[in-house]
Amino acid sequence: MLILKTLARGAEMHGFQIAESIQAISEEVLQVEEGSLYPALQRMLVKGWITGEWGKTDENRRARYYRLTKDGRKHLEQELERYSRVAKAIARILQPA
């Protein structure tokens, strides 16, 4: 979801940029092995939520740029909705009566 959200915000990003972006947004709270990003990306490729296109970085190096597809956007919306429902429920439980 995090990756989808990141991609939904920007246009196209390659793996490192996605990782950086997630780190920046989450303010380094989420610390995982950065590499685990890639199996996740592959899984989303399979599902068809994102597509990857090879392009050049600013320094003229080959990199794969990922972009959200229509399916991916839909999936993200569903996930966000579900998440907010759960979050609200949790919030209600935690609110002092």
Partner 1 sequence: MTLREMWRRVQYLRHRDEYADELREEMQLHVELRARKMRGQAVAGAEFAARRQFGNPTLLAEASAGAWGWGAWERLAQDLRHCFRALRKTPAFTIVAVVTLALGLGINSAVFSVVNAVMLRGLPYPDPARLVQFWGLFLNPPPGFVSPEARFGGPARTNNLSAPAFVEFQRGASNFLDLAAFTRSPHNLTGIGKPAQVWGESVTTGFFSLLGANAAQGRVFLSEDERAGAGPVAILSYAFWQRRLGGDAAVLERSIVLDGQPYRVIGVLPPDFQSPGQIAEADSSEYFLARPYQDSDLKNYGSRFLIVLGRLKPGVSLLRAQAEIDAIGARLEGYSGSKRGFRTMVAPLQDDLVRHVGRSLFALLGASALIVLITCGNVANLLLVRAIARHHETSVRFALGASRFRVVRQFLMESLVVAFTGSVVGLSLGDVLLRLLIAIAPAEIPRIHSVSMDWRVFVVSAALATLTGILFGLAPAWRASRTRPAASLRSTKQPGGDPNQARWRSGLTIAEVALSMMLLVGAGLLIKSFVRLAGVDLGFQPGHVLAMSVNLPDASYRTPEKRLQFFQELEQRTRNLPGVQSVAFANRMPLRGGWSTGVTLVRPADEIYVGTDGQAVSPGYFATVGIVLLRGRLITEADGIEQERVAVVNQEFARKYLKDIDPIGREVYWNKQTPLKIVGVVNDIRRAGKDAPIRTELYVSAAQADLYPVRLGDFAIRTTGDPRLLKSAIQAQVWAIDPDQPVTSVKTFDQIIDDDLSGRWFDTLLLVIFAGVAVGIAVIGVFGVLQYSVSQRTPEFGIRIALGAQRSGIHALVFRQAGRLILAGVAIGLAGAFVMTRFLESMLFEVPRHDLWTYIAAAALLAAVSATAAAVPARRGASVDPIVALRYE
Question: What is the token pair recorded at 27?
Answer: 């303010």
CB under 8 A, 24+ apart: contacts of 51-56: 53/12, 55/12, 55/14
Site for partner 1 in 34-63 (CB under 8 A): 34-39, 41-43, 45-48, 54, 61-63
Nearer to partner 1, 16 or 83 (CB): 16
CB of 52 to partner 1, least distance (A): 8
33 binds partner 1 (CB under 8 A): yes
Interface with partner 1 (CB under 8 A), residue from 5, 64, 67, 73: 64
* Bridge partner list, 54: 64
How far, CA to CA in Å, does 4 sit from each of 45, 49, 69?
12, 8, 10
Cβ proximity to partner 1: between 15 and 68 the closer is 15
